[in-house]
Structure 1
Amino acid sequence: MRGKGRVLLVLALVAVVAMAFRVSWNALRDVAKAIGADATAALLYPFVVDGLMALALVATLVLTGDDRRFALRVLATYTLASLVLNYVHGLVPGLHNATAGRVRLAQWDAGNWVLVLLASSLPVGSIYFGSDLVAKVLHHRPAPADEQACGSSGQESAHAPHTDAHPEPDPTATTTGSTGDAPAPEASALVTARAEAERLPDPHTPHTARTPEPESADEALRQAQFEEAELERMRQDARRAYTESAQAGRPLSARALGEAFGMSESWGRKQILAARDEEPPRPVLRAVDTAAV
């Protein structure tokens, strides 16, 4: 039914345009005779004016951008010219007589001169504007549809991986000392490796986990407890990493510790202080007087 409705609409439009052309054809033919056209030229004159209007209308449906605006200007100009000539045909009774020959289009000399210039220039304008419109339509290439940058196909540029501001030192680098013992590994390498080992296997870190919205007060409470437990686990890992770095002889700074766990420098400083508080007191060695024994 939808296709039949479209066909009926197009047929009705064609019928209306054909009847309107027949009415306008009578007036334009008489005007052509009044400016000196012979019988054949007067018969073809309406096709020159109203025919270009139809051509410009089709061009507006095909062209886009500046070309479409140009076609609309041509359509508006020739529609206005045809309206003026039909209006003059209704005002001058002498144009209705088929055998009258040349007839003045206006009693005022300047007005008659302007109307004659308008009627005689329309065929020349049809040649120029009609050929230009046909050339624009023939050379028109519809722009392809823009492809979406991120579609369902998954062709999306991967994000650059996060890199630390401080690059990891080479763990194979050797250091020279007064003793001949094997050099201790770099502290930053130790803590970075430990942090990655702690964070990568667990997909439920508090920073990247996306949990659903709680539906009740109990779920909200359990969610808060879960996040607090995750944060406490991260704090314990950070303190353990600092302790290991201190035991290796290269204690981490607050900034390095915070960056290793994706936190701030102040957070790292708090974990260092907590790790120092948790350290067991070192045994005090006292000299024994062997003479007294």
Structure 2
Amino acid sequence: MNRFGKTLLVLALVGVVAMAFRVSWNALRDVARVVGADATAATLYPFVVDGLMALALVATLVLTEERDKRFALRVLATYTLASLILNYVHGLVPELHGHAVDWGRLADWDPANWALVLLATSLPVGSIYFGSDLVAKVLHHRPTPSDGSADGRGAGVSAPLPHTPEQPAPEFPHTALTGAPQVTSEPVLAQVSEGADAVRTPHPYTPHALRTPELSAQEQADRQAQFEEAELERMRQDARRTYAESVQAARPLSARALGEAYGMSESWGRKQILAVREGDDSDRPHLVAIGGA
């Protein structure tokens, strides 16, 4: 439905509610006069009852938590039923409008009269209590995201993709760089073999091996540092190989593109390019001029 249709629907609802309030206002005012209210209080009495109904209806539309919404609906149903009973009594006893009945007398049967008087006099007090509670719930209400995520991101919104360079590193057959330092993978292999030994479950019928003493904190830190250094060196070798392959393809990568391709900075990529160039210079033969006598 478009905005014009929604606006028209809301205006129609407001008109119907206003006319229904005017019809109910006459009956509630006469009941308030019979139970002892003066002219001003009797005039304001319908606003206390039907006004709280409107407040409970708005709170039901605003609140989203199930417990608060159920409470607002119960208040709306209770006051709707009370207003209906008082309007029904006014219809059964038309003399209430002309003040032809005794003061405080809404029914001929005493128990029914006591119940009706208690209902009519308790509604203003209940409006104060329930109205304050509803307003407090609405003011302290925090709408929750429709998808329930903790960071407020919609379920249909995908996570941002990682930034990739405009010119990704081309894939070429790996060629060995002449003069490039080779990295030994012994620390990495040692870490992998130790992890495999730790996960391996011993056979129940084989004798248990002797437990090796646990590593100290310093040894663990040294091994972790060796592992990280080996990973960094492997990344450097891959980056240098990628740059060399791009040079062979006559499309050399820039320092920024090379760094972003490996999740590093532009200065890091520049260092790898310089290392490749220095390696190439060291492999070239140096000519020495020999002066004649």
In 1, Cα distance between equivalents of 2:132 and 2:156: 43
In 1, Cα distance between equivalents of 2:131 and 2:20: 21
Higher relative contact order (CA 8 A, sep 6+): 2
In structure 2, list runs of 5 or more residues that go unmatched.
162-191, 198-293
1:128 paired with 2:129, answer: yes
> Which residue in 2 is equivalent to 1:45?
45
Matched residue type, 2:44: L
Q: 1:82–1:98: structure 2 CA closer, same or farther, 3 Å change rule?
A: same
Matched residue type, 1:33: R
> Which residue in 1 is equivalent to 2:159?
153
Q: 1:121–1:154: structure 2 CA closer, same or farther, 3 Å change rule?
A: same
Q: Identity percentage over the alignment?
A: 74
Alpha-carbon distance, 1:33 to partner: 0.4
Alpha-carbon distance, 1:151 to partner: 6.2
TM-score by length of 1: 0.51
Where do 1:116-265 residues align within 5 Å?
A: 116-144=117-145, 145-147=147-149, 152-153=158-159, 167=196
Matched residue type, 1:14: V
TM-score by length of 2: 0.51
Q: 1:150–1:141: structure 2 CA closer, same or farther, 3 Å change rule?
A: closer
In 1, Cα distance between equivalents of 2:196 and 2:155: 33
> Which residue in 1 is equivalent to 2:76?
75
Please give the secondary structure, in 2, of the residue aligned with 1:14: helix
Deviations 1:53-100 (A, max 9, x none): 000000001112201100000000000000000000000122020576
In structure 1, list runs of 5 or more residues that go unmatched.
156-162, 169-293
Where do 1:90-101 residues align within 5 Å?
A: 90-98=91-99
> Which residue in 1 is equivalent to 2:109?
108
More off after superposition, 100-109 vs 88-97: 100-109
In 2, Cα distance between equivalents of 1:6 and 1:149: 28
In 2, Cα distance between equivalents of 1:71 and 1:79: 12
- Stretches of 4+ aligned residues off by more than 2 angstroms: 98-101, 144-155
Matched residue type, 2:83: S
In 1, Cα distance between equivalents of 2:135 and 2:148: 27
In 2, Cα distance between equivalents of 1:150 and 1:8: 32
Matched residue type, 1:135: A
Alpha-carbon distance, 1:2 to partner: 1.9
Q: 1:150–1:94: structure 2 CA closer, same or farther, 3 Å change rule?
A: closer
Please give the secondary structure, in 1, of the residue aligned with 2:159: coil
1:3 paired with 2:9, answer: no
In 2, Cα distance between equivalents of 1:138 and 1:150: 30
